[in-house]
Structure 1
Amino acid sequence: MNWNGKDVEVYLKEQQFIDTAVVPLLPISFGTEMKQAASQGEFIDLLSMHLERQFKGRMMLFPALTYLTSISNEQKMDMLQSWEVKLKESGFTHIFYLTSDSIWREQGEIAKQVIWLPSVPLEHMDEQYKHSILEDQVKQLINIIVQQWQTIK
């Protein structure tokens, strides 16, 4: 399910079956790091959409949590923890954060829910090759998510 009116309407009717939330984590930067942040964002956005298609009816793909790279890690964690609380209050038992920003791998307990993938620069790739790479990445994500579903019941 995507974050749009039609899918949210279905979610509201069927939410007992939709127990997984996916939130992309996207850095925003200016200056010399801007291109890298934009490439990471493009990769994670496309990857998230491919993943959602695989799990439609079990997973809700939320809009990305975007943050400035210049703010402190503590501020980033505060933002993420606010999301975490609301998602849990809404009944999501499985929450995954997708990112290519390595800072999230070092953030204590929440790091268990962060799926970090190195960004693949997609801007110069042929569309067919781009989607092939994304599908390969999604296969890896599927394994990770299914393992988590089996351990957290």
Structure 2
Amino acid sequence: MQWTRKDLSLYIKEKEYIDTLIIPLIPFNPASDSNVTKEAFQRELNQLFTHLLEKEYRGRIIVSPEYDYITGSNETEVRRINQWVESFQSQPLSHVFLFTFDPKWKKWEQELKGQLLWIPSMNERDLHSSETKSFVKEQVSQISELITAYW
């Protein structure tokens, strides 16, 4: 389920069956011209991944709004992300996954209240190319296996 009015209306009725949340972690730094396109690509790729995961497990997974943060401030962000996780856990959500392509989160993984799903990002390219689709499909399959292992 996506964070839309329609899906949330259904979630409220069926929340006893939906036990897993994915929080997309999206880095950005508008002051850094050298990384802005890379970060935008990571956001697009993150949206594609979470959409495919949600589609595969519709009725079991809900995707939260994106958690956007300015790069380089991970220590401060750990507290904020943990607050998000705690807020969502007031719902009957047993499993919370934090999905990112930003390797800096690995350093803070032990302090996070959700399970970190980090995947190395690919170089910027067309999201609709067959090469990209193949990469995404393979990675989504592996992430799906990991998520189901927690269930």
TM-score, normalised to structure 1's length? 0.89
Tell me how far apart the structure 2 counterparts of residues 111 and 15 of structure 1 sit (CA, whole Å): 21
Tell me how far apart the structure 2 counterparts of residues 77 and 125 of structure 1 sit (CA, whole Å): 30
Preserved CA contact (<8 Å) 2:98 2:114: no
Tell me which amino acid in the other structure corresponds to 1:11. Y
**TM superposition outliers: structure 1 runs of 4+ over 6 Å:** none
What RMSD in Å do the two structures reach over aligned CA positions?
1.7
TM-score, normalised to structure 2's length? 0.90
C-alpha displacement of 1:127: 3.8
C-alpha displacement of 1:73: 2.2
Give the equivalent residue in structure 1 for 2:65.
Answer: 63
> Which of 40, 43, 63 is equivalent to 2:42?
40
Tell me which amino acid in the other structure corresponds to 2:16. Q
Give the equivalent residue in structure 1 for 2:143.
Answer: 141
Preserved CA contact (<8 Å) 1:50 1:134: no
SS in 2 for 1:6: helix
C-alpha displacement of 1:38: 1.2
Tell me how far apart the structure 2 counterparts of residues 76 and 117 of structure 1 sit (CA, whole Å): 19
Give the equivalent residue in structure 1 for 2:25.
Answer: 25
Preserved CA contact (<8 Å) 1:19 1:94: yes
- After TM superposition, the structure 1 = structure 2 runs for residues 105-120 of structure 1, keeping only pairs within 5 Å, are 105-107=106-108, 108-110=110-112, 113-120=115-122
C-alpha displacement of 1:91: 1.7
Tell me which amino acid in the other structure corresponds to 1:102. P
The one-character-per-residue Cα deviations of 1:96-137 (angstroms, maximum 9, x if unpaired) are: 011001111111242860000011235335444433321111
SS in 1 for 2:22: strand
Aligned length in residues? 148
| Cα distance change of structure 1 residues 112 and 7 upon mapping to structure 2, 3 Å threshold | closer
Tell me which amino acid in the other structure corresponds to 2:65. P
SS in 2 for 1:115: strand
Tell me how far apart the structure 2 counterparts of residues 88 and 126 of structure 1 sit (CA, whole Å): 35
Provide structure 1 residue ranges, at least 5 long, that are not aligned to the other structure.
none
